[in-house]
Amino acid sequence: MRRTNKVPEKKVRQLFDRIAANYDTTNNVISLGSHKKWRKKTMQQLALEPGGKVLDLCCGTGDWTIALAQAVGSTGAVVGLDFSSEMLAIAKTKLAAANIFSQVTLLQGDAMKLPFADNSFDVVTIGFGLRNVPDAAQVLREMQRVVVPGGMIACLETSQPENRLIYPFWQLYFKLMPLIAKLKHNDKQDYVYLQQTTQHFFSAKQLETLFRSTGLIQTNYQSFMFGASCLHTGIKKERSKI
């Protein structure tokens, strides 16, 4: 199974640079604030321990990165990676305000070619970024490569309601989303792109199949808001003992 984002990566990066300044406020309006609840429930699933080492891909303006850093504490370490310099600049400001610079490193980089050795992290996360990469399967393979055997991969992403009664309302909402976003952001076409990536991305069941096809085990997903968003998790296989 293979799903690609056909928009050139450079254009996607430029889009996120453009919307960075208003990203948080616009995201709150579009999701009705629900993304904060989704992330909180996700953190409960991760069960991070003090001293843990975590990689947060497509970290954007850093909200999940900060939550992860607070969970692993001062003895832990979190790396936030994103391809948008403007998003990372905002994340840096938030880290300073939260006073957690000591355990967080922010990097500009490519989620499809991670600059880390194998088995470097206890947990690897990606929030609302998998649908924007050129090859979702490649990103999952890279996430699996850098997580330790037995470590968890977690993906929080927009999804598609499976309930046929809900689906028409979901379609209407995403048609209105660019107009809602225009209240906070001048170019609604940027949010037309984000709407389209959501509509054309994997369903929850398809994404779980992709998780399994890349070698992850104990895969599972949890739907939020009637399926408008999903948390997918998987575990990297332990090495065979001879």
- Tell me the pTM: 0.89
Q: What is the predicted pLDDT for the residue at 2?
A: 47
4 forms beta bridges with 135
Beta strands in the chain (DSSP E): 53-57, 77-82, 104-108, 121-127, 147-158, 217-224, 229-235
Comparing 35 with 178, which gets the higher pLDDT?
35
**What would the pLDDT profile of 137-190 be if each residue is shown by its tens digit?**
999 999 999 999 999 999 999 887 766 665 565 565 656 555 555 555 555 567
What mean pLDDT comes out for the span 3-10?
76
Q: Is the confidence at residue 215, as pLDDT, over 90?
A: yes
Contact 213, 144 (CB under 8 A): no
- Closest C-alpha to 71, from 54, 88, 57, 87: 54
In CATH, what number does 9-235 get? 3.40.50.150
- Closest C-alpha to 16, from 50, 55, 61: 61
Contact 105, 82 (CB under 8 A): no
Distance CA 50, CA 106 (A): 20
Distance CA 129, CA 156 (A): 8
229 forms beta bridges with 158, 224
Report the first-to-last Cα separation within the chain, whole angstroms: 32
**What would the pLDDT profile of 217-238 be if each residue is shown by its tens digit?**
999 999 887 677 899 999 999 8
Name the residue ranges covered by the structural domains of the chain.
9-235
**What would the pLDDT profile of 85-124 be if each residue is shown by its tens digit?**
999 999 999 999 998 888 999 999 999 999 999 999 999 9
- Closest C-alpha to 7, from 179, 139, 135, 180: 135
Q: Is the confidence at residue 209, as pLDDT, over 60?
A: yes
**What would the pLDDT profile of 116-136 be if each residue is shown by its tens digit?**
999 999 999 999 999 999 999
Comparing 195 with 223, which gets the higher pLDDT?
223
Q: What is the predicted pLDDT for the residue at 3?
A: 57
Residue 150 has phi, psi (to 5 degrees) of 85, -5
Length of the chain: 242
